[in-house]
Amino acid sequence: MPGIKILLGSKTQQRKGCAVVLKTKCAARRLKVCETDSIILNTGFHLPCSSDSIILNIGFHILCSSDLIILNTGFNLPCSSGSIILNTGFHLLCSSASIILNTGFNLPCSSDSIILNTGFNLPCSSDSIILNTGFNLPCSSDSIILNTGFNLPCSSDSIILNTGFNLPCSSDSIILNTGFHLPCSSDSIILNTGFHLPCSSDSIILNTGFHLPCSSDSIILNTGFNLPCSSDSIILNTGFNLPCSSDSIILNTGFHLLCSSASIILNTGFNLPCSSDSIILNTGFHLPCSSDSIILNTGFHLPCSSDSNHPYHWVSSPLFQ
pLDDT tens-place string over residues 257-301: 333 222 223 223 333 332 323 233 223 333 333 323 333 223 333
Give the predicted TM-score (pTM) of the model.
Answer: 0.12
Q: Is residue 304 part of a domain?
A: no
Q: Considering its fold, how many domains does the chain have in total?
A: 2
Q: Is residue 71 part of a domain?
A: no
pLDDT, average across residues 96-125 = 32
What is the span of the domain harbouring residue 175? 152-200
pLDDT tens, position by position, 202-218:
333 332 333 333 322 33
Average pLDDT, the chain: 31
Percent of the chain with pLDDT over 70: 0
**Last residue in a domain, options 167, 182, 200:** 200
**Last residue in a domain, options 171, 200, 229:** 200
Q: What is the pLDDT of residue 123?
A: 34
With beta carbons less than 8 A apart as the criterion, state whether 155 and 142 touch. Answer: yes
Q: Is residue 22 part of a domain?
A: yes
Other Cβ atoms closer than 10 A to 166: 21
Q: Is residue 188 part of a domain?
A: yes
- Dihedral sign for Cα atoms in the order 176, 179, 182, 187: negative
**Last residue in a domain, options 200, 232, 263:** 200
Other Cβ atoms closer than 10 A to 230: 9
Q: Is residue 194 part of a domain?
A: yes
Q: What is the pLDDT of residue 170?
A: 31
With beta carbons less than 8 A apart as the criterion, state whether 263 and 251 touch. Answer: no
Instruction: Kindly indicate the confidence band of residue 110, based on its pLDDT and cuts at 50, 70 and 90.
Output: very low
Q: Is residue 45 part of a domain?
A: no
Compute CA distances 182 → 75, 170, 192, 200, whole Å.
39, 11, 14, 15
pLDDT tens, position by position, 125-180:
323 333 323 333 333 323 333 333 333 333 323 333 333 333 333 323 333 333 33
Instruction: Kindly indicate the confidence band of residue 124, based on its pLDDT and cuts at 50, 70 and 90.
Output: very low
Q: Is residue 170 part of a domain?
A: yes
Q: Is residue 8 part of a domain?
A: yes
